[in-house]
Each structure stands twice: as structure tokens, then as C-alpha cells.
Amino acid sequence: MTRLRTAIAVPLVGAAVAHALPAVTARRPARLLTPRLAGEGRAGGVALTFDDGPDPHGTPAVLETLADLGWRATFFLLGSQVRRFPEMARLVVDAGHEVAVHGTLHRNHLIRTPLGIRRDLRFAAREIAEVTGVRPRWFRPPYGILSTGSLWAAREVGLVPVLWTAWGKDWRAGPADEVAAEVMSTLRSGGTVLLHDSDCTSRAGSWRSTVAALPLLAAELRVRDLEVRTLGDHLDPRC
């Protein structure tokens, strides 16, 4: 009986480890070993990205501030939010920004099957394309946690996974100067910034911290002579 249990357990443990192995990239040191996945692009600028939208309050406020700054960014949209607020998703594209896939539901991929993840990504990509008229290219998993199933599903759906090199931890709804300082503590030329334009998975009103932090980030980036780009501009070697 013991040998039988071992014979069953070993393959199961091996499969679980293989499924979870890509999740190590959720930690910054591991992401730095995979620069393209981390969003490392052309020097001289940074990519600005937002997760969890669209949102009827946060998204318009972020878009207005980006317009004031003359910046274009990439928005990783949730299919469930697009379905609830299609006009907000269209507003992102109409304002000249790039849309990408954050999934349909904001659930950790480590507890989802590969087929479930593929369905999730396929639905989200279709929802975004139908509502905005733009076929998304990029994909970022909820919480930035990838599984082997995530990578397989993204390839099946025709999406490219991209994480980030710097984040503002703006979901905590802290002071704007702390959000900006958190970003700048790890941001380097060629990096990718993660912020949020929605509080659907964060503290209520956290998008206000994000909006207030953007002009502070602009001042820091001007000092460093770094431009702000979409991921498409940032990661495309032809640019």
C-alpha cells in the first residue's frame, strides 16, 4: 500500500510543481532573469500600464490626467469589467491608448486548470475585440502569477505575456507621493510600470491615489529624460 501511494503521489507532486514553476516570475529577482517577460524594452523610456479596468470612475480620471500629460499607455482590461462598462473600454481606445488582456475573472491561475485559463483568456480577448474593435496583443495574469497553463493558454489564444519591472502598490490607496516613490525605487530606463485604473480588486477609491501620483511620476521622469510609451511602442524592435 505504501508503495502504491508513493507511485501515485510522485507524479502528482511533479505535475503540481511543473504547473506552478512559472509563478516564480511573480518575484522581482526572477522577473529580471526574463527581461522580455518583465517588460524590458527600448532604452530611453518606459512603458506605462494599468490593470483591472475599465472602471466608470477610475478610468475617465486616469485618461484625463494622461491627456494632460500627453502620455499614451496600455490598459490590461478584465473581460468582466468590459462587459459591465463597455463604454469605458471604448473610451480607452478612442483616447489613443492600447488595450490588453488581464483575463475575464481576476482569479489566481495557480488554482485554475489550463483549459479553464484558455476559456478565460479567449472570452476576454473576444469581449475586448468586439467592444473596442481592437484585437489585443498582450496578456498579464491576475496578481502577476503565471502557471504553465497560463503560458500554454496565452499561446493558444495568440497573446504575449508581459509582467512589469516597477509598480506603485497603488491598490493600498496610500498617499500619492508614496505611490510615486514606490515606482521610482525600482524603475530604470527600458522598464515597465504597473498601476491600476480600477478599485474592483483594491481598496475603495484607490484609483485616486493613482491619479494623484501621475503628475509626480511625470516630474521624476522628466528629470531622468525618460519618455512614456505603450507596450507596443516599447517592445517593438522596429520603433
| Residues with a known catalytic role | 51, 196
For 120, list phi and psi in degrees, rounded to 5.
-60, -50
What contacts 34, CB < 8 A, 6 or more positions away?
25
For residue 77, give the 3-state DSSP assignment. strand
Half-sphere exposure of 137 (CA within 13 A, CB side): 8
What contacts 188, CB < 8 A, 6 or more positions away?
165, 166
The closest of 79, 101, 89, 83 to 133, measured between CA atoms, is 89
Residue 25 burial (C-beta neighbours within 10 Å; 0-12, 13-18, 19+) = buried
Spatial contact of 74 and 229, defined as CB atoms under 8 Å apart:
no
Q: What does the alpha-carbon distance between residue 9 and residue 27 come to, in Å, rounded to a whole number? A: 28
Q: What does the alpha-carbon distance between residue 57 and residue 71 come to, in Å, rounded to a whole number? A: 19
Spatial contact of 163 and 127, defined as CB atoms under 8 Å apart:
no
